[in-house]
Structure 1
């Protein structure tokens, strides 16, 4: 199944709303009942270490499936994100599918 990168940036001054909805956001990313499987995820930070967005690497059948998944994200529903971009991703280094593969 293909991989995609989700790059989402927050609207200005949404830190309190982000923190309020963070537990629900994190729980949803860990829920395996979705059509999208989150492989890697974490907050994007500014130079002072404040959360300003999200970066996810997901596995899904299509970009449309990822976009649909993101439309239901608690941050999206709470109007935290200013933008959400989905890009196809060709996983090279660190691909979990390569674990245990002998390298010459």
Structure 2
């Protein structure tokens, strides 16, 4: 599955970013919102987020597969996740902090 979203837990931003970082993050998010609006897209989207280590994650993947929203990666520069039986396999990451 192509990685299409970046999710930052609000609590992590609050706990791990200093005031300058928070200001920069806010500026970047505002810029994306404004440019989406100028391009005729909704300024804000709302998403459901599921941690892959939750016991129901495989159920979510099956629902996505049934609705053609889970498939092979077409971009070799994107991370790939595989669904094998009842196990969701995630790629190993190098240099993770």
Scaled by the length of structure 2, the TM-score of the pair is 0.27
Structure with greater strand percent:
1
Structure with larger RCO (C-alpha < 8 A, sep 6+): 1
> Which protein has the larger Cα radius of gyration, Structure 1 or Structure 2?
2
- Larger proportion of helix: 2
